[in-house]
Structure 1
Amino acid sequence: MTPDYLPFHPAPKVPDFRVPEGAVDAHCHVFGPEAVFPFAPERKYTPCDAPKEKLFALRDHLGFARNVIVQATCHGKDNAALADALLASEGRARGVAILGEEVPDAELERLDAAGVRGVRFNFVKRLVDATPHAVFERIAARVAELGWHIVVYFEAQDLDDIAPLVRRLPGIVVVDHMGRPDVAGGVDDPAFGAFLKLLSEKPDIWVKVSCPERLTVAGPPYDDVVPFARQLVESFPDRVLWGTDWPHPNMKSHMPDDGALVDVIPRIAVTEDLQRRLLIDNPMRLYWPDESG
């Protein structure tokens, strides 16, 4: 398949905002290198190579201490690149895998030992083919035995279809990228209100206040996205996570500067207490519970 990506920013700035010591980038990826870890034949897009060495160098450049590496659809259910990165991190990374219901118990145990702590269910129609909800429920029941959580990725217009499943899933469910709201409608849009209502009703739902570069209509510095993220941080301070989404796969419009993305953080978490919860307390509690304070 012909590559259809924008390459990640070659020289991101040093952020003006200094993240607190111990901060976690709770949503990022590793891709390939393709010569070692081939991309899935069924993928809907082809990313650039973004190996673990580049990710860990970015982590240090931006001032973060740890990563949560999320499997993306371009690698499908082959979590080899993810597991390789986790093992190389020396405990400084945790992972979220993509699985089929046919996955053997031995593979689950291997991934758990490598540092995987969650499984991702993707409902974005341009990225994946439809999967019956019953399949996801069977996978969720299996990984619940390992203490893993569920990550769900969907777009706002599909919330009505996804919400019943989300309510049924066991344990903690983390929603990627704020449920991809339509920011053109503003924070008073009924669709975003429905998402807030779901979060209020089910205290086990967490949310990543990430990816302004994907959600924006106005473009950098993402003024149109900030109110959404800030409302979530202030309404659910103990259930929010933040991540770069590096290397920003399948971006079509622009490639963000990761340093500039870090500088959005104090605009959505405006106090040191909220920043600490967002960047340290919450991700540590979810991914490194034995080390969280």
Structure 2
Amino acid sequence: MQTFEKTPGWLDWYANPSKPRFQVPQGAVDAHCHIFGPAERFPYAPERKYTPCDASKEQLFALRDHLGFARNVIVQATCHGADNSALVDALVRSGGRARGIATVRRDVSDAALEALHDAGVRGVRFNFIKRLVDFTPRDELMEIAGRIAGLGWHAVIYFEAADLPELEDFFTALPTTVVVDHMGRPDVGKPAEAPEFSRFVAFMRDNPNVWCKVSCPERLSLSGPAALNGEQNPYRDVVPFARRIVEGFPGRVLWGTDWPHPNLRDHMPDDGLLVDFIPHIARTVELQRKLLVDNPMRLYWPDEA
């Protein structure tokens, strides 16, 4: 039997999350999370850049219920490469309460795409974070995007803010809805009104097919999970960035826990406190409902929205 040892220095997920003070609206969707393995059943890809701890579908669904969410969108993790077996297993076992974002290669068959669709996959992730994946030629990604457009899927793009200028033309040419992970990883040490993030805001404004996940403050923050206005959490230096997107594009924003938070070394967030971040970036009941219910339902369960 093949064995896998977690990459040294990377943290395990938070085992005893608190109960959030903020009660999410009924029908809320955690629109960005992952599962890892278990490696004994779903081995990690040989070409992976990291090896995580196992994080099963059962643990994810237990967290979903604990935090008060109704549904999940599970994103294929880079450690599993283009083998979507663990993802498909979780989707099938969710009883319709989860949708998926897969990773596929150019040689994927039409039958395989149809099978993924039947399981609940509704998009493909294109990862441009150089420390996580090897470069995939853009013509290959564009070919994949053209094929998934026929299924009504969208492209999820993960990149760092400094790389947007060289990637923007490619992103705007994609023939699908485009969902940006984690606000394009802005440098929160700069003001939210600074040119770099303003360029991202303009990218969203000029391309109405672009959506954004206002997730992962624990990845972006320089200040950490300090209190704000006497309340526990949130990651206060991330708040102005996320709030600018939520209030500027209320019909095109999503939120997710990013559980089990791969690759973190400094601290592992309490997922209950991450939920308490939400009312600081979506300050009205209407914005909270759009962010957590209306938008993800429209994108992932349109027949029920």
Equivalent position SS for 2:113 = helix
Q: 2:274 aligns with which of 239, 253, 261?
A: 261
Compute the TM-score of the two structures, normalised by the length of structure 2: 0.95
Give CA-to-partner distance per residue, 1:6-62, whole Å, 9 cap, x none.
Answer: 110010000000000000000000110000000001010111100000000000000
Q: Which residue of 1 aligns with 2:236?
A: 223
1:47 aligned onto 2:52 = yes
| Identical counterparts, % of pairs | 64
**Counterpart code for 1:98:** T
Q: Is the 8 A contact 2:43 2:80 kept in 1?
A: yes
1:23 aligned onto 2:19 = no
What is the CA–CA distance in structure 1 between the aligned matches of 2:181 and 2:265, rounded to whole Å?
19
1:158 aligned onto 2:152 = no
What is the CA–CA distance in structure 1 between the aligned matches of 2:274 and 2:216, rounded to whole Å?
9
Q: In the TM superposition, what is the alpha-carbon distance from 1:72 to its structure 2 partner? A: 1.1
Q: Which moved more, 1:1-10 or 1:201-210?
A: 1-10
**Counterpart code for 2:6:** P
Which structure 2 residues correspond to residues 114-263 of structure 1 after superposition, within 5 A?
114-220=119-225, 221=233, 222-263=235-276
**Counterpart code for 2:196:** A
Q: Which moved more, 1:282-291 or 1:98-107?
A: 98-107
**Counterpart code for 2:261:** H
Equivalent position SS for 2:261 = coil
Q: In the TM superposition, what is the alpha-carbon distance from 1:2 to its structure 2 partner? A: 4.0
What is the CA–CA distance in structure 1 between the aligned matches of 2:300 and 2:94, rounded to whole Å?
14
What is the CA–CA distance in structure 2 between the aligned matches of 1:150 and 1:131, rounded to whole Å?
15
Which structure 2 residues correspond to residues 61-100 of structure 1 after superposition, within 5 A?
61-100=66-105
What is the CA–CA distance in structure 2 between the aligned matches of 1:162 and 1:16, rounded to whole Å?
39
Q: In the TM superposition, what is the alpha-carbon distance from 1:131 to its structure 2 partner? A: 1.3
Equivalent position SS for 2:189 = helix
What is the CA–CA distance in structure 2 between the aligned matches of 1:166 and 1:68, rounded to whole Å?
22
What is the CA–CA distance in structure 2 between the aligned matches of 1:191 and 1:42, rounded to whole Å?
33
Equivalent position SS for 1:183 = coil
What is the CA–CA distance in structure 2 between the aligned matches of 1:88 and 1:37, rounded to whole Å?
15
Q: In the TM superposition, what is the alpha-carbon distance from 1:189 to its structure 2 partner? A: 1.9
Q: Which moved more, 1:185-194 or 1:112-121?
A: 185-194
List runs of 5+ in structure 1 lacking aligned partners.
none
Q: In the TM superposition, what is the alpha-carbon distance from 1:188 to its structure 2 partner? A: 1.8
What is the CA–CA distance in structure 1 between the aligned matches of 2:82 and 2:123, rounded to whole Å?
13
What is the CA–CA distance in structure 2 between the aligned matches of 1:141 and 1:66, rounded to whole Å?
28
Q: What's the Cα RMSD here?
A: 0.7
Q: In the TM superposition, what is the alpha-carbon distance from 1:95 to its structure 2 partner? A: 0.2
What is the CA–CA distance in structure 2 between the aligned matches of 1:85 and 1:152, rounded to whole Å?
22
Give CA-to-partner distance per residue, 1:154-208, whole Å, 9 cap, x none.
Answer: 0001001111111000121000000000000120221101100100100000000
1:111 aligned onto 2:87 = no
Q: Which residue of 1 aligns with 2:6?
A: 3
Matched length:
292
What is the CA–CA distance in structure 2 between the aligned matches of 1:212 and 1:51, rounded to whole Å?
23
Which segments of structure 1 move beyond 3 Å, counting only runs of 4 or more? none
What is the CA–CA distance in structure 1 between the aligned matches of 2:172 and 2:36, rounded to whole Å?
32
Q: Which residue of 1 aligns with 2:228?
A: none
**Counterpart code for 1:126:** R
Q: Is the 8 A contact 2:30 2:256 kept in 1?
A: yes
Q: 2:285 aligns with which of 272, 283, 293?
A: 272
